[in-house]
Amino acid sequence: MGPYGLYVWSCFALTAIVLVICEWRARTRHRHVYRDIEVRVKALGDTE
């Protein structure tokens, strides 16, 4: 890679970090949505 090695590996690392953060945020959002749905279903079940 010569003098471009630092550039290539830093871009690779930055891409990997962005992908990990996106995955983490998606899982967190998914968990919050399902908790909200669970609360709403329980609330509907309590009123009947």
The model's confidence at residue 45, banded by pLDDT at 50, 70 and 90, is confident
Candidate from 33-37, 39-43, 44-48 with smallest mean pLDDT: 44-48
Give residue-wise pLDDT tens across range 19-28: 999 999 999 9
pTM over 0.75: no
Give residue-wise pLDDT tens across range 4-24: 999 999 999 999 999 999 999
Spatial contact of 8 and 1, defined as CB atoms under 8 Å apart: yes
